[in-house]
Chain A
Amino acid sequence: DTEVTQTPKHLVMGMTNKKSLKCEQHMGHRAMYWYKQKAKKPPELMFVYSYEKLSINESVPSRFSPECPNSSLLNLHLHALQPEDSALYLCASTKRGQEGISGTEAFFGQGTRLTVV
């Protein structure tokens, strides 16, 4: 199983709603990531969990709240979002290979296309 599965694939939410994005992998990878990708732009790193602990927060607003309940699951909780938060949210995972963590390829999910209205 070399897949990263994200649900839902599409989400429309109002600015007062609370919703959650889910990401799951069963490859035994111990680092999991959230990236945000605006239309026609490259992905930008938001959060990194390493061994279920938050290791990187790229100054993301608190209306985005990540959670890593176990080594296979990563959530992103959304609350009081703004229309400019509409984007493709990508989850990824990596293992630590012979090349070290920086040299290993990342496995990405298909993303959740979020629209905030």
Chain B
Amino acid sequence: AQKVTQAQTEISVVEKEDVTLDCVYETRDTTYYLFWYKQPPSGELVFLIRRNSFDEQNEISGRYSWNFQKSTSSFNFTITASQVVDSAVYFCALSESIQGAQKLVFGQGTRLTINP
């Protein structure tokens, strides 16, 4: 069965600090996709990044970067120079295709608070 673990329940940092959110996953699939979503207080989940299982190249996009390591089944997400607007709950998710549709299995989420 698919499983995603986010061990950090809450993180609180001061603005401009870098922060890394950890994600560990379990799957028996050889091809899979991993996502990070952000959920601000308004409620909607906002797509941030996606990585597929056959591309371990790590990337940077603006203040966001991610570290995907298949050997350790980890998909960590880093925000550089954090800002107050980054405060939200962040979910790591593993995706599988079922009957022509997508099923997202989410981790428990990490509540990130950026203090001014």
Residue numbers of A with Cβ under 8 A of B are 4, 31, 33, 40-45, 48-51, 55-56, 88, 90, 92, 94, 99-111, 113
B103: chain A residues within 8 A (beta carbon): 45, 48, 56
| Contact yes or no, A43 B45, CB < 8 A | yes
Q: Which residue from chain A places its CB closest to the CB of B100 in the assembled complex?
A: A50
Q: Can you name the residue of chain B whose Cβ is closest to the Cβ of A96?
A: B100
Number of A-B contacts (CB under 8 A): 84
Query: With A and B bound together, what is the CA distance between A28 and B43 in angstroms?
Result: 23
Residues of B in contact (CB 8 Å), total: 27
CB B61 to nearest CB in A, in angstroms, measures 14
B50 in the interface, Cβ–Cβ < 8 Å? yes
Cβ–Cβ < 8 Å partners of A50 in chain B: 99-101
- Say whether chain A's binding surface is mostly helix, strand, loop, or mixed: strand
Chain B interface SS verdict (over half): strand
Assembled-state Cα–Cα distance A81/B104 (Å): 25
B56 to chain A, nearest CB (A): 16
Q: Which residue of B lies closest to A51 (CB)?
A: B100
A103 to B103 CA separation, bound complex (whole angstroms): 10
In the complex, the chain A residue whose C-beta lies closest to that of B42 is A110
- Asked, given contacts A45-B104, A94-B102, whether A102 binds B32 with beta carbons under 8 Å apart, the answer is yes
Given A31-B101, A106-B102; A42-B91 close (CB under 8 Å): yes
